[in-house]
Structure 1
Amino acid sequence: MIRLEPPLRVATEADARELADLVNFAGEGLPLYIWEGLAMDGQDPWEVGRARQMEKVREGQIVVVDFGDGAVASLTGYPIGSEPRPTGEDFPALFRPLQELENKALESWYVNVLACYPEHRGQGLGSRLLDLAEQIAREGALCRMSVIVASNNVGARRLYERHGYEEAATLPCVKEGWDTDTEHWVLLIKSLR
């Protein structure tokens, strides 16, 4: 088990509000769009987002940066297995290109969300979390890292490329009513060998 040194810590359910904010921020509004579709009549979509983040917290999938006043940055990720996940006719079109790209990154540690509030950027927090992700991958005997970024997210792509990630594939973004400038999803992979 990797030992986390402050300001890094494992996320708790008390972080749900910040985690929902960070996930939506990193996802450029796609998470909120999804939560709106999942919300029952009269339910606040942010409540859906917080509940989904609490599920991931209970699974131990999230690490946060906390200087004492709550989470300001987060890392969510997981290992991708050796078998591709089917994307049959019933698979939601919005997610199909994302899953198809993930299927090209088998046996990697997938950076699902790397997010930081804008006022905490430029402090090396993203790099620190990416280093942690690599430690987790190595501990899990994985030989590569993967992440999917929006083609127009230049800042995120620049961060990953500085850390040795390279473009492996792209697919068009399916919008289905999501208001976005994203045209393509880009799979970036880094070898750990």
Structure 2
Amino acid sequence: MNSNPKLAAQSPQPRPPIELRAATPDDADVMAKLINLAGEGLPVYLWQDMIEGNETAWDVGRRRAQREEGGFSYRNTCLAIGDDQIMGAITAYGQPDAFEPVDPAEIPPLFVPILELENLAPGSWYINVLAVFPPFRDRGVGSFLVRAAESDARKAGKLSVSIIASDGNPGAVRLYERLGYTACASRKMVKEDWDNPGENWILLIKEL
């Protein structure tokens, strides 16, 4: 037993456990914020072209998060909860066993390299969004969420998990590599007017 009260006072206090909760349509606002954080501003850039009527770009993001279908849907999203707050989120789902060939003439140029990389991981469990709010970083939240996605992948009978990251975010790439993901391919980014320090999208895959 530590009898020194000064040392006891300096001992780090245990942090509350992280819990996982399925997202609901009511979480659309926080989901929009987190996907934009994960995408380093790319989602808001894209949502500006989807505005209907008097909507803002954020309204578009919330509307898309509330969809019953589609990759970015509350149905594919789980939230990390701690300190009675939403700390982060992960959106993941199964990819088809076969993809339609990417036709650059029919797809906005910005999406072409991303879709080409997705097509290299057919049948995988795809992590579309992984984001943690800044105050909760370096607390294991990202690792917790990735492991939760891997558990879902196993339950779904998937043999691998895939994720696409920007080389402009080396911290994220290091996290995935530390968790056992391997960089398998890359494609040069198409940015248009989107400002980002990255040059390439990287496909990382982990065999389960």
Same fold (TM over 0.5): yes
Contact 1:168 1:188 in 2 (8 A): yes
The Cα offsets for residues 85-140 of structure 1, whole Å up to 9 and x where unpaired, read as 33222111111100000000111101100110010011111111111111111111
Partner of 1:182: 198
Structure 2, unaligned runs of 5 or more: 1-16, 68-72
Instruction: Give the alignment's TM-score, normalised by structure 1.
Output: 0.91
Given candidates 40, 44, 47, the residue that maps to 1:32 is 44
Report the residue type matching 1:173 in the other structure: M
Contact 1:11 1:64 in 2 (8 A): yes
Partner of 1:15: 27
Distance in 2 between the 1:7 and 1:141 partners? Answer: 24
Partner of 1:191: 207
Instruction: Describe the shift of the 1:155–1:6 C-alpha distance in structure 2 as closer, same or farther (beyond 3 A).
Output: closer
The Cα offsets for residues 138-178 of structure 1, whole Å up to 9 and x where unpaired, read as 11111111000001111110110000001100000011221
Given candidates 157, 166, 171, the residue that maps to 2:187 is 171
Larger radius of gyration: 2
Contact 2:87 2:141 in 1 (8 A): no
Q: Secondary structure, in 3 states, of the residue corresponding to 1:104?
A: coil
Contact 1:143 1:191 in 2 (8 A): yes
Contact 1:19 1:71 in 2 (8 A): no
Name the Cα RMSD after superposition.
1.5
Partner of 2:4: none
Contact 1:15 1:71 in 2 (8 A): no
Q: Secondary structure, in 3 states, of the residue corresponding to 1:94?
A: helix
Q: Secondary structure, in 3 states, of the residue corresponding to 1:75?
A: strand
Distance in 1 between the 2:82 and 2:185 partners? Answer: 37
Report the residue type matching 2:114 in the other structure: L
Given candidates 68, 75, 84, the residue that maps to 2:90 is 75
Given candidates 152, 156, 168, the residue that maps to 2:172 is 156
Report the residue type matching 1:138 in the other structure: R
Instruction: Give the alignment's TM-score, normalised by structure 2.
Output: 0.85
Q: Secondary structure, in 3 states, of the residue corresponding to 1:82?
A: coil
* Displacement of 1:67: 2.9
Report the residue type matching 1:23 in the other structure: I
Q: How many residues align?
A: 186
Structure 1, unaligned runs of 5 or more: none
